[in-house]
Structure 1
Amino acid sequence: MRMWAALLLGIGWMMALPGTAQAAWWQAKSRHFTVYSEGNDEKLRGLAERLEKFDFLLRRLHDVTDPEQGSPVQVYLLSNDRKVQKLAGNPNIGGFYTTSDRSAFAVLARGEKTGKFDFGAEEILFHEYTHHFMLHHFPAAYPAWYVEGFAEFFSVVKFPKSGAIEFGHVPMARLPGLVLGQPYPLEYLFARDTGDLSRRDGDRYYGTAWLLTHFYQYNKTQRGKEIASYLADLVRGVPDRSPDSYFEGGLAGLEKDLRAYMRHRLSASSLKSNEMKIGEIVVSPVDPAQGALVEDELRLINHPNADELPAIVTAIRATAAQFQDSAYAAALLAEAEWAAEEKDAALADADRAIAMDARSSRAHAVRAQVLLERAHDSDKADDWKAALTAIVRANRADTEDPVPLALFYRYHAMRGGKMPDLGYDGLYKAFTLLPQSPDYRFNVVRAMAARGDYATASLLLDPIAYSPHASNMREAAIRLKAELDGQAAQTSAEKAKKTGNPAPAP
C-alpha cells in the first residue's frame, strides 16, 4: 500500500511540474537533419533514416562529395494537419518548407496519406528538400519546368523492406491531370512559370514537368542530348534562343515523342542498402522548456507579420515564466522581444540567458543586435566596441551559426569606411551555411557588387530571378540582375578601351 501511495504521489508531483506535458517532444539527430516529434515511436527514427537515405541518394546521383557542408535541416512532426495549416496560414496543405535566418526547416503532420491519389506529407517534404539540395549544390538559371520537374521526379521514393531506396516512380497525385486532362502543351510549359495556374492546369503543369524530366533522366538517345544542351545553354547564359531550335522538329516534335513515351511502361531505379552510408541516428528527449516552446518558436521563425508579434511575445513570455532556469527559454523570449521592438526587455532577457549559459549564441546575437542599434544611434566609440564584443562572443559560442557572421558584416557596413576582408568572409560563410536564404543571397550579391564583381553578383541572383514562383522578391531580383548586367557590360567595355583592341589579322 505504501509503495502504491508513493508511486501515486510521485506521479502527481511530476504532473504538477511546469512543462511536463511537453516532455513528450523527442528528437532524432543525424548528419544532415534534426527531426522533432510529438512522441517517440517508429515514425521519428524511421523518418530520420529515410531522410538520410534520400540525402545520400541525391548526393550519389549528382556526385556531391561535401557531406558536412551547410546547416542541418530541421524537420518538425506536428500531431495533426490542423496545426500545420494554421501555422502556414493555408487550409489546403499537409506540410511546408522555408528558412529562418538561422536554419532551413520543414513542418509536416504525423498522419498518413488518405488516398492513393493524394499528396503525402513526406512526398511534400522530399519535393521541398530536393529544391533545398539544388539551391545548395547547383543553383543556376534553370527553367521553371525543370526546377519543378526535378523536385517532382525525386518526390516519390519508396523504401522496401530490403533497406534499399527506389526512385523514378510515377507521382500518383499528378496522374489524373496527365491522363484525364492530357499533358500541358510544351510551348506553354517552356514559356511560363507556375504563377496564376488553376488547380487543374497546375496538376497538368507539374505532371508534364515531371514527365519531361523523367524522359530526360532515362532517355539516352538524341532527345536526351537535346534537352541537356538546352539546359546547359540556359545555365551558361547563352543569349536568347528559341527552344524550338534545340529540338529536331521543334517543340512539336519533342511533344510527339513525349506523348509516345507516356504510353509505355516507365522505368524506375533503385539504390541498394549496401551502397548507402547514413551514419548514426541518436534519439533523445527534448529539453522540457524547448518542447513547451516548439510551436510558438515556429510561429516566431516562420516570418510573422508585425501585427502578429505581440501575441507571439505574450505566448512565449507566459511559457518562459514556467522555466525560469532555462537559458533556451530566455534566449527565445529575447529574440521575440527584439523582433517586436521591445528592445530593453530583449537586452535584459538576453543577458539573463547568457548568465545561465555563456554558450548561447542566440542570446549573444540578440544582445549584439540591440547594442549595434544603440551604437548606430549614439556613434560613441564605447558603444561600437560593446556591439563588436557581443558579435564576437556570439560567433565564438557557435561558429556555424550564420547570424553572428552576418552581423559582423553589418557592423562594419553600419560603421562606415573600408570593409575589411574578414567582413566579406563572414558574410560569405553565412551564405554558404544557408544559401537557401534569399536574405543572405541578396546580401552577398550586394557585397560582391560593392567590390565591383558585377558578373558574379548577377550569377548568384539566378535562382531567385528564375524562380518558378512569382513574388515581389523575384521581381526585385530581376530588376537588380538587369542593373548588374549593365554594370558588368560597362566595366568590360571600359577595360577593353583602356587596354585597346588587338589589331585585326592581315
Structure 2
Amino acid sequence: MALFAFASPAHAEWWEARTDHFIVYSESSSADAKKFAEKMEQLDMSLRSLQNVKFSPVTSESQRLTVFRFGDVDDISRLVPGAAGFYIPNLSGSNAFTPAKSDSRSTGALLGSTGDSEKKKLDPEKVLFHEYTHHFMFQHFEAAYPRWYSEGFAETVATIVMKPDGSFHIGDPPNYRSDLLFQSMLNVSVERMLTSQNKPTGEDFYSWYSVGWLLNHYLTFGPNRQGQLKQYLRAIKSGVKPADAARQTFGDLGKLDKEINKYKGSGKLGGIDVRIANFAPPVAQMRQLAPDEEATMKVRIRTKAGVNKKLAPNAARDARVVAERYPNSYAAQLALADAELDLAEFQPADLPRAEAAADRALAAKPDSVDAMILKGRALLERGKTDKAQLAAARTWFTKAYNRDPEHPAPLYYNYLTYYEAGGNIPESAIVGLEKAYDEALYDDQLKLVLTRQLLSEKKGPTARSILMPMAINPEFGDSYKKYAEVSDLIAAQKVDEAYKLLATTMAEDDRKRRSGDDD
C-alpha cells in the first residue's frame, strides 16, 4: 500500500511561493499559491505589530517557515490523526502542513463543536494561523509559556481578520469552539487549568484552547485585570512555579473563574482594530516545480512530518522508488538521504544508504547546505560506534557553517561530534551551541542539550531558565516530571544531581525513541 495518498487529480501542479519569511509548496494554481503566501506574510506583519517585533530579513534559508499545502483535511489527518493542520519545529527548517482544498466534512466534532452551523466548522486556515503563532512566539521570545496561555493566545490570533490596507481586527471568538465555551465549559475550572501538574486528560487538552482562549481574552481586553497577565508570565519566567505564580498574581482563583464566566456572556468579546504603520503589501516570488521535484513531494511531506520506527521503512522505500526514477536529481537524492537517515536511527545498518544518497545530492549540487548537513549527520551516527568518523562528520558541518553561518544545525551537530567523542569540549563548539540556541529558540532537543552542557559547567541559574519551558509543560508526560525535578534540584543548588538526572533522562528518552517504545 502507498504510504499515504492525496485526494487529488491524476496530475496536480505544484508551485513554490517565496516571501520574506515563508516558503510555500502548494498543490494548486499559481494564483492561489501566490495569494496564500502573501496572506501568510501579512500575518507575520500583523504579529510583529502586535508584539513589537521589528521586521528583519532572513539571513539563512532555515529561518523561513516551509508550508506544505496539499490535499484536503482528510489527507492532513492521515499524517496526524484528528488534525486539520499542524506545525513541526526543526533545526534544519521548521515546517507546517495545511490543506490546499476545502473538504466536504465538518471538523467540528474533532475540535470541540457539534452543531451543523457553518460558523461551527473549523476553517483550516485558522488552524494554520494558530500554528504559525506558535512558531512566531517560539522564534522570537525566550520565555516559558504555560500551555493554556500558549494555546489561548494562538487561538486569539487564529480568528484574526486582515484587510487589504494592512489593518486587522483581532479578538473575535473561535466559533468552532462555541459548544465548549458557551455550554459545557468542559467542567474545567480556571483553578484546575492554572494549577494542575498531572498528565493532561482530553478534557484538559480542550480546555487549553477554549477556557484558555477566554481567560487570555479577559486578561488582555477586559477592563478589570490589566497588567496581570504580563506580571504572571514574568513570574514564571523568573522561576516561580505556574501554580504559585497564578495565586500570587490573580489571588482567589475561584473568584477569577466567576469573573470569566460572567465575561463570556457579557457580549463584549469583540477584540480591537489595529493599523500597521507604513504597510507595504507583500509580494511572493513564484516558481513551478520541475517533474523530479513534484515526484518527491509525498516523500518530503511524510519525512518532514516525522516518522517513527513503524513508518520509517515505508518512507525510505518510497523515496528509493523516486530516486531510481531520477538518479541525477538533487531533489530526489536529498529526499532519499533524509528518509534513509530517519530509518538509520532505528536500523543503523541503513547508514551507508543515507551517506550514499547524500553523496549523490552533493554531486548534483555541491554547495547544498542541506546535503552537507545530512552527510555530516550520517557520519555522526556512525561515529557513535566508530569514533574515527566524528572528525570526518565535523568537516561537513564546518563546510555547511561556512556556507550559511546563521544556520543553527551545523553548530548544533558540530557540538555533538565533540560530546560523542568524550573528553573536553572546545570553547568554540560550546559558543556555537549557544549561538544555535539563539537562532532556534523553538527546538526542544537543543534546549535539553544546552541545559546539560550548562549544568556540566555549574551554570545552574542559566540552565534552569532554558529548561523552564519544558519543566512546566505536562504534555511532555513522564519526562516533564523529570525536567521539573531537574529544575527543583537546580533551585536547591544541587547542580551535580541535576546534571545526572537530566543526562539519564535524555539517554533513556533517546533509547525509547530508537527502540520504538514511545510510539
Q: What TM-score do you get using the length of structure 1 for normalisation? A: 0.83
Q: How does 1:169-248 map to 2 (within 5 A)?
A: 169-182=172-185, 184-192=188-196, 196-198=200-202, 203=206, 206-221=209-224, 223-238=225-240, 241=244, 243-247=246-250
Matched, 1:452 2:441: no
Counterpart amino acid of residue 71 in structure 1: Q
TM superposition shift of 1:385: 4.3
Is the 1:194–1:470 Cα contact (8 Å) retained in structure 2?
no
Is the 1:158–1:165 Cα contact (8 Å) retained in structure 2?
yes
Matched, 1:344 2:352: yes
TM superposition shift of 1:77: 0.8
Is the 2:73–2:102 Cα contact (8 Å) retained in structure 1?
no
Q: How does 1:410-429 map to 2 (within 5 A)?
A: 410-429=416-435
Q: Distance in 1 between matches of 2:315 and 2:421?
A: 32
Q: Distance in 1 between matches of 2:473 and 2:416?
A: 27
Q: Secondary structure at the match of 1:475?
A: helix
Give CA deviations for 1:180-213 in whole Å, capped at 9, x if unaligned.
22484222222237954446x7555532221121
Is the 2:17–2:23 Cα contact (8 Å) retained in structure 1?
yes
Q: Distance in 1 between matches of 2:208 and 2:392?
A: 54
Give CA deviations for 1:241-289 in whole Å, capped at 9, x if unaligned.
47445446x2233233323322133232223366434643212112332
Matched, 1:58 2:15: no
TM superposition shift of 1:83: 1.8
Q: How does 1:98-137 map to 2 (within 5 A)?
A: 98-112=88-102, 115-137=118-140
Is the 2:68–2:301 Cα contact (8 Å) retained in structure 1?
no
Is the 1:327–1:360 Cα contact (8 Å) retained in structure 2?
no
Q: Distance in 1 between matches of 2:77 and 2:468?
A: 31
Q: Distance in 2 between matches of 1:126 and 1:234?
A: 26
Please name the residue that 1:94 is paired with.
84
- Change in Cα spacing, 1:255 to 1:334, as seen in structure 2 (3 Å) is closer
TM superposition shift of 1:25: 0.9
The gaps in structure 1 that reach 5 residues or longer are 1-20, 492-506
Give CA deviations for 1:405-425 in whole Å, capped at 9, x if unaligned.
222111222233322222112
Question: Larger Cα Rg: Structure 1 or Structure 2?
Answer: 1
- Change in Cα spacing, 1:87 to 1:204, as seen in structure 2 (3 Å) is closer
Root-mean-square deviation (Å)? 2.9
Please name the residue that 1:84 is paired with.
76
Q: Secondary structure at the match of 2:425?
A: coil
Please name the residue that 1:151 is paired with.
154
Is the 2:70–2:101 Cα contact (8 Å) retained in structure 1?
no
Is the 1:98–1:104 Cα contact (8 Å) retained in structure 2?
yes
Give CA deviations for 1:71-128 in whole Å, capped at 9, x if unaligned.
111111112222211122x0x2211111234121111112348521122211111112
Q: Secondary structure at the match of 1:34?
A: strand
With CA pairs under 8 Å and 6+ residues apart, which has the higher RCO, 1 or 2?
1
TM superposition shift of 1:319: 0.7
Counterpart amino acid of residue 100 in structure 1: N
Q: Distance in 2 between matches of 1:33 and 1:63?
A: 20
Q: Distance in 2 between matches of 1:478 and 1:317?
A: 43
Counterpart amino acid of residue 212 in structure 2: A
Q: Distance in 2 between matches of 1:417 and 1:198?
A: 45
Please name the residue that 1:258 is paired with.
260
Is the 2:455–2:495 Cα contact (8 Å) retained in structure 1?
no
Give CA deviations for 1:143-201 in whole Å, capped at 9, x if unaligned.
332222211111111134555322111111122222222484222222237954446x7
Please name the residue that 1:6 is paired with.
none
Q: Distance in 2 between matches of 1:451 and 1:66?
A: 36
Is the 1:145–1:193 Cα contact (8 Å) retained in structure 2?
no
Is the 1:400–1:433 Cα contact (8 Å) retained in structure 2?
yes
Q: What TM-score do you get using the length of structure 2 for normalisation? A: 0.81
Matched, 1:300 2:327: no
Q: Distance in 2 between matches of 1:439 and 1:204?
A: 27
Q: Distance in 2 between matches of 1:65 and 1:188?
A: 37
Q: Distance in 1 between matches of 2:372 and 2:178?
A: 51
Give CA deviations for 1:427-473 in whole Å, capped at 9, x if unaligned.
22332332222111111111222222111111111212222634344
Is the 1:101–1:402 Cα contact (8 Å) retained in structure 2?
yes
1:281 to 271, 280, 284: 284
- Change in Cα spacing, 1:416 to 1:210, as seen in structure 2 (3 Å) is same
Matched, 1:334 2:337: yes
Q: Distance in 2 between matches of 1:29 and 1:225?
A: 38
Q: What percentage of aligned pairs have identical amino acids? A: 27
